[in-house]
């Protein structure tokens, strides 16, 4: 597929000024020209043209909002000064797999004041002695070269950063607690448990009171029985005493009759 057809396909019925990202990898440039890409793509922030047989950037349109430019596996050997004029706000530039051989070619990138990351992997320039030290000294505005900074710390990947951000949100949710409906259910369960505990404690107290009451009644009944027995004995003793007195009176009466 040629470049122009691919661009029309990528538009998806959108106007060029509505497009912020454009991927044209593996398309063929006719005579090294970027056919179909022009200044109307003024909102473009990301452009990728990997392996499109591009040998020159002379036909690159003005893309003032472009931040990231991917140009790996092409035939670019020079003319990088065009980038500062056409894409002055670039922060990331990938030129890996091109025909860049010496430091003088890269020197033209000094005018890209916002450039933070440059990739020259698989270019002949990487075979130079003290390659990394020389590039960092030449382009003091960059932080990462071929994916690493001067202390060999790897450049963060944008997708990994997004994943870390999402995980952070999940951690915040965990710290914030459960959703409200889960909290309400937990509160209801706790209320039910408290009611059961209260009911159980009340039942235990009731049983204890009931047992104590029954024991007291039994003790009272035994005391009543003892009182009844004592009263019966007293009555019997009184009756025996009365009978004894009666016998005594009868005996006295008999004695008096005999005297007569």
Residue 26 sits in a domain whose CATH number is 3.80.10.10
Of the two residues 222 and 19, the one the predictor is more confident about is 19
pLDDT at 11 over 60: yes
pLDDT at 146 over 50: yes
Q: Which of 75, 30, 81, 35 is nearest to 56 (CA)?
A: 75
Residue 60 lies in a domain: yes
Q: Residue 110 and residue 46: Cα distance in Å, rounded?
A: 21
Q: Which of 76, 75, 109, 111 is nearest to 93 (CA)?
A: 109
Q: Give Cα separations from 68 to 19, 37, 45, 132 (angstroms).
A: 14, 16, 6, 22
pLDDT at 154 over 90: yes
pLDDT confidence bin for 19, thresholds 50/70/90:
very high
The pLDDT assigned to 119 comes to 98
Q: Please compute the mean of the pLDDT values over residues 73-77 and round it to a whole number.
A: 96
Instruction: Give the best-scoring range by mean pLDDT among 2-11, 67-76, 228-237.
Output: 67-76
Average pLDDT, the chain: 78
DSSP letter, residue 123: S
Distance of CA 48 to the CA centre of its chain: 33
The pLDDT assigned to 238 comes to 62
Q: Give Cα separations from 109 to 64, 71, 81, 115, 219 (angstroms).
A: 16, 15, 7, 8, 109
Residue 165 lies in a domain: no
Residue 82 lies in a domain: yes
Of the two residues 51 and 191, the one the predictor is more confident about is 51
Residue 169 lies in a domain: no
Cα three-residue angle 6-7-10, rounded to 5 degrees: 85
Residue 186 lies in a domain: no
Residue 172 lies in a domain: no
Task: Note whether 143 and 118 are within 8 A (CB).
Answer: no
Domain that holds residue 80: 3-145
Residue 180 lies in a domain: no
Residue 11 lies in a domain: yes
User: What total number of domains does the chain contain?
Assistant: 1
């Amino acid at each position: 597929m040629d470049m122009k057809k691919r661009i029309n396909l990528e538009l998806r019925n959108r106007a060029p000024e509505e497009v912020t990202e454009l991927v044209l990898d593996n398309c063929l440039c006719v005579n090294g020209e970027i056919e179909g890409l022009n200044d109307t793509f003024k909102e473009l922030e990301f452009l990728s043209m990997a392996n499109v047989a591009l040998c020159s950037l002379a036909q690159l349109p003005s893309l003032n909002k472009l931040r990231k430019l991917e140009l790996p596996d092409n035939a670019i050997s020079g003319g990088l000064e065009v980038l500062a004029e056409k894409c002055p706000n670039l922060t990331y530039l990938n030129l890996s797999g091109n025909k860049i051989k010496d430091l003088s070619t890269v020197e033209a990138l000094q005018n890209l004041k916002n450039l933070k990351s440059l990739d020259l992997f698989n270019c002949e320039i990487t075979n130079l002695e003290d390659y990394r030290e020389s590039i960092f000294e030449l382009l003091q505005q960059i932080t990462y070269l071929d994916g690493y900074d001067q202390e060999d710390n790897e450049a963060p990947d944008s997708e990994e950063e997004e994943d870390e951000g999402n995980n952070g949100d999940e951690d915040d949710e965990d710290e914030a607690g459960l959703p409200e409906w889960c909290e309400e259910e937990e509160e209801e369960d706790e209320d039910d448990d408290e009611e059961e505990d209260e009911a159980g404690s009340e039942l235990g107290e009731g049983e204890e009171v009931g047992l104590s009451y029954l024991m007291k009644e039994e003790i009272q009944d035994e005391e009543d029985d003892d009182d009844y027995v004592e009263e019966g004995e007293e009555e019997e003793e009184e009756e025996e005493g009365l009978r004894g007195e009666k016998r005594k009176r009868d005996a006295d009466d008999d004695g008096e009759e005999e005297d007569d």
